[in-house]
Amino acid sequence: MNRAAALADALARAFDLPPSGFVGIVDNLLHLGRGDDLELAWRSNACHARIRQGTVEATLDLPVRKGVFRAMLARVAALCNERQPGSVSPYGGRGEIHLGPGPQAVFSPDFINTAAEQSLRLAERNRDCMSARDRHLCSGEVDSGTALPPPQ
């Protein structure tokens, strides 16, 4: 199995419904996202996903109902607000998620959860924001990046 196929398989397994439901899916995505960039978007009645690990990229459609996807985005908002209450709205924003106390992994999710649009961009970031890729997340600048490709 090549690296792109392995990434796609790991992403698909993250969505296998764990006993804790959508909360477990979000936890799986956070653990999978360590060192990777992850994007999810709801379009054309499907969840489209892209994961990048260095120069390797995989895209796939995931079998997730829209209600579950929106609940996952609400969970992301709740995790952002745990450490800094009011930092994001349930309808979207950019925040921080810390995995564990101390210098554990820190993620910077950028998400939208409205009736018209649902998307999530999740990137692990350097705590000191030293890399150029992370600098925009710490400065508050908006980086549109490269959006998911349109469905084929």
The confidence score (pLDDT) of residue 135 equals 37
Q: Has residue 64 been placed in a domain? A: yes
pLDDT of amino acid 55: 87
Query: Is 36 domain-assigned?
Result: yes
pTM for the predicted model, two decimal places: 0.77
10: three-class secondary structure by DSSP = helix
For residue 1, name the pLDDT band (cuts at 50, 70, 90): low
Whether 89 shows a pLDDT value over 70: the answer reads yes
Q: Is residue 75 part of a domain?
A: yes
What domain range includes position 134?
3-139
* Domain contains 94: yes
Would you list the DSSP string of 54-93? Answer: TTEEEEEEE---HHHHHHHHHHHHHHHHHHSTTSSBTTEE
- Which phi and psi (to 5°) does residue 96 adopt? -130, 140
CATH code of residue 109: 3.30.450.90
- Assigned token pair, 90: 């349930």
| Overall domain count for the chain | 1
Whether 67 contacts 61, CB under 8 Å: no
Confidence of residue 21 (pLDDT cuts 50, 70, 90): confident
Res. 140: pLDDT tops 60: no
> Is 53 a domain residue?
yes
Most confident of 8-12, 51-55, 80-84: 80-84
Inside any domain, residue 55: yes
Name residue, tokens 């199995």: 1
Question: What confidence tier does 36 reach under pLDDT thresholds 50, 70, 90?
Answer: confident
* Structure confidence at residue 11 as a pLDDT band (50, 70, 90): confident
45, part of any domain: yes
Q: Assess if residue 106 is contained within a domain.
A: yes
